Structure 1
Amino acid sequence: MSSHVPNQARVIPLRPAAAAPTPAAKEPLWRHVVGDVLRRERLAQERTLKDVADAARISMPYLSELERGRKEASSEVLAAAARALGLGLADVLALAHGELARPARARPARTGTEPTSVTSVVSGRDRSSGRAAAAPHGGMCLAA
């Protein structure tokens, strides 16, 4: 006389299920932003990793790791790399700020391909023509 009905209780939720949160725009890591800035400046100057690493007095593999965003540089190392590129630490920070200030959807994805180079903050000159770079509102051009 037994019925083979499963012994399961029905669950009644007390609160309605919350909607899945929408994924927020992922903030870039500082080391990725700074690495991108260093690499773009080095490539814009048509310099090798070895050349810049020697000028900064850091190892070539370490500079490569910095550029790829795999290592977090100390302020001393970052300043040395900036000086080796003819920039000040403030210039690197200004370029990184420009990257962070752009809307997330306009940032290039980190695919291993490099975006176009930026105009040098130090010289304020367009590298392709050698002429002074035009900047909107009479300010210095920080990013292309």
Structure 2
Amino acid sequence: MAETAPLKRPDRDGAPDDRKREPLWRDMLGECLRERRRDRGERLSDTADRAGVSPQYLSEMERGVKDPSSEMIAAVAGALDLTLIDLTLAVAERVSANSITACVGTANRAAYALAA
């Protein structure tokens, strides 16, 4: 569902590894917002009304189509009874979990090399 941008980290030989992909912030933000809204049993229009945005705009945020301003993010977070720091931490955890999953193969090889 979420598109990713290439992660340009050098490999052991110094060349970037284009096989690794890092998720986009807006995709992870949207997933967190949608999950929180659904956990609360709310419709798009309910949350959008409280945030002062259109349901279409909120839908676009949730799908990762929009790159919302910090003011828009704060408004939607507030409508979902989240602080901006709580939302930011939730998104960071998703990004981190995604990055760890993408690098598991490399980490396993490193562990085997250390064990040898």
TM-score clears 0.5: yes
2:86 paired residue among 77, 85, 91: 91
Q: 1:122-133 alignment to 2 at 5 Å?
A: none
**Aligned-pair identity (%):** 40
Q: Which residue of 1 aligns with 2:66?
A: 71
| Count of residue correspondences | 87
CA deviation after TM superposition for structure 1 residue 52, in Å: 0.1
The whole-number CA distance in structure 2 between the counterparts of 1:29 and 1:74 is 15
2:34 paired residue among 25, 36, 39: 39
Q: Which runs of 5+ in 1 are unaligned?
A: 1-20, 108-144
Conservation of the 8 A alpha-carbon contact between 2:23 and 2:98: no
The whole-number CA distance in structure 1 between the counterparts of 2:17 and 2:96 is 22
Q: Which residue of 2 aligns with 1:30?
A: 25
Q: Which residue of 2 aligns with 1:101?
A: 96
Give the strand-richer structure, 1 or 2.
2
Give the helix-richer structure, 1 or 2.
2
CA deviation after TM superposition for structure 1 residue 101, in Å: 1.3
Q: What TM-score comes out, normalization by structure 2 length?
A: 0.69
1:51 paired residue among 39, 46, 55: 46
Runs of 4+ in 1 over 2 A off after TM superposition: 21-24, 103-107
Q: Which has the higher contact order (CA 8 A, sep 6+)?
A: 2
- Aligned CA-pair RMSD: 1.7
CA deviation after TM superposition for structure 1 residue 106, in Å: 3.7
Q: Which residue of 2 aligns with 1:139?
A: none
The whole-number CA distance in structure 1 between the counterparts of 2:17 and 2:86 is 36
Q: Which runs of 5+ in 2 are unaligned?
A: 1-15, 103-116
CA deviation after TM superposition for structure 1 residue 24, in Å: 2.6
Structure number with greater Rg is: 1
CA deviation after TM superposition for structure 1 residue 22, in Å: 5.5
SS of alignment partner, residue 31 of structure 1 = helix
Q: Which residue of 1 aligns with 2:6?
A: none
